[in-house]
Amino acid sequence: MLSALLFAQESNLVQTETAMVILFAIAAGVAVISRAFGFPNTVALVLAGLASSALGELVAIEVSPELIVAILVPPLLFEATLHLPWSKLRADLFPIMLFAVVGTAFGTLTIGWLVHTTVHVSWPAAFAFGALISATDPVAVIAFFKSLGAPKRLSVLVEGESLFNDAVAVVAFNLALAAGAGEAFSLGAGLKDFVVVSMGGLAVGIVLGYVVSEIILARVDDPLIETTTTLALAYGAYLVAEEIGQIVRLEHVEFSGLLAVVAAGLMVGNLGLKNTSPSTRVTLDHFWELLTFLVNSLVFLLIGLTISLTDLAKHLDLVAIAVIGILVVRAVIVYGFTRISNLVGRARPISNSYQHVMYWGGLRGAISLALALSLDVFGAETAEKLKIMTFGAVLFTLLIQGLSMSTLITRLGLAGRADTELKQQRLQAKIAMRRAGQAEVARLGADGVLFTEMADALGVTYQADVNRESTNLRRHFSKHHELEVAMLLQARRDALVAESSGLAEIVRRGLVEQQVADGLTIELNNRLAALELIEDRWEQDEAPTFDPRN
């Protein structure tokens, strides 16, 4: 009997390993084809997943909520927040939280009412569907915006909303599940749960992220150790937050693991990376780029594998209700709530073109799929209806909206600077690399490691490379004058940050009184805020005037 059990386990392991090998091979092939034809890689992966379902047992992987939410999503969220500047996020925190909290709650109630009225399911089941389908999915949104090279503020708005609104959706979903299981529902208790779950998750992520940033990244100069620690942090923050009740021996206490991952990533990206060496940052970037490519590929392939086109075709009426519902509600949230945001933040209005992209960029994906797989508490018939509606809505947003996102962004004039900016960055990077090599050769010559003649010859070669790339950069700027403004703005930002660091050093040495330092800090913050306003207006093509002396 034991031998039979071991054989069965080994057989399952081989089957899973075979499926993973096939899926990774498909992902690599899809990446090559989509890059060659300029096709969105995420859309191509979903289509490949749909087609791969014909392979049957060869790609049979049990898709569970835990697999998606606990294994695949954390590294994607962590990597996304690593490169999300806190200054940019803080500047638009009000509209982001307005969309993420109030918008998701509004969507949950509105779509829940629509589903209860038209599909005739119970109120708890309807609200559960409203919750899972209202939150825009961070995995899908981040993947699309990375590939499209959208403006930074637009990316922050859309990605920020999608990173935070899952807390509202998950809490609302769990309350609906509890009501479906016969537990009493209380609005006050629900609001309390939301505050505890979200604030607790953020607190766990901040604490763990700070510890890793200040103890490991600041004091250990080993790229392998530091990179491994960030991977442990991404999963550890999720596990600690989700299992906090077991850790502190309070059974019913549970925090948001996904928000913990977001907070930990923000801490490492905005604090920890400043404490690391250049070699560690390069290693970190390469590791997380590879990991997110693999995990992201699996997520979208599994979405395609899970969805049955035959089932969707049999229930087009249910799919239509779901799609129309999310489109109408998304329009109310984006265009209606943006008016409120623009009234409150008159200095940083969200333009009409940004609103159009935010509306059409409200994609659904892995999070909705994972929550839909937990609907069995409402009975087999109701769960099947809601799963079909979820799968149909997810497929619509990824294929229809996803395929048209590039066209929309281009027609709105929001992608025109992407290629030119990338070329500028490549040229600037080449110049910086050549100058670094030139400086190292000069140092080796001065230290006697190289003969003077060898160092001089290599230095001449490097200088020729620098001159050539500098000439290419000037020619590029002469064709694209708007890039000069961008470079000047970035240089001004770097200079203000350097001023802030210089002030902190003077205060640390006790050369000025704290009262003087506080006044100068306020002045620096005001100049940074003014610079951010200029950057936003320039990014939205409002062509502001800019005086570098201010």
DSSP string for residues in 409-449: HHHTTSSTTHHHHHHHHHHHHHHHHHHHHHHHHHHHHHTTS
- Give the separation between CA 497 and CA 32, rounded to whole angstroms: 40
Rg, the chain, Cα only: 26
Contact indicator for 307, 368 with CB cutoff of 8 Å: no
Which CATH number, 3.40.50.1820, 1.20.1530.20, 2.40.10.10, 1.10.3720.10, labels domain 20-411? Answer: 1.20.1530.20
- Give the separation between CA 98 and CA 61, rounded to whole angstroms: 38
- Give the separation between CA 258 and CA 235, rounded to whole angstroms: 10
- Count of beta carbons in the 10 Å neighbourhood of residue 428: 15
168: closest CA among 138, 191, 184?
A: 191
- Give the separation between CA 185 and CA 318, rounded to whole angstroms: 27
Contact indicator for 75, 295 with CB cutoff of 8 Å: yes
Contact indicator for 260, 240 with CB cutoff of 8 Å: yes
Sign of dihedral through CA atoms 377, 380, 386, 392? Answer: positive
Contact indicator for 207, 267 with CB cutoff of 8 Å: no
**Which CATH number does 418-479 carry?**
1.10.287
40: closest CA among 398, 382, 315, 358?
A: 398
pLDDT tens string for the chain (550 positions)? Answer: 445 444 445 556 777 788 888 888 988 998 888 888 877 778 888 888 888 877 766 777 777 878 888 888 899 889 888 888 888 888 889 999 999 999 999 999 999 999 999 999 999 999 999 999 998 876 667 666 666 666 778 888 988 888 888 777 887 888 888 887 766 666 677 777 778 888 899 999 999 999 999 888 888 878 889 999 999 999 999 999 989 888 877 777 788 888 999 999 999 988 888 777 777 787 888 899 889 888 888 888 888 888 888 888 899 999 999 999 999 999 999 999 999 999 987 778 898 999 999 999 888 888 888 888 888 888 889 999 999 999 999 999 988 988 888 788 878 877 655 566 777 778 888 888 888 888 888 888 888 878 888 888 888 888 998 889 888 888 877 776 656 666 777 777 777 777 776 777 777 777 777 777 778 878 877 777 677 666 666 555 544 444 444 4
- Give the separation between CA 383 and CA 377, rounded to whole angstroms: 8
- Give the separation between CA 171 and CA 426, rounded to whole angstroms: 44
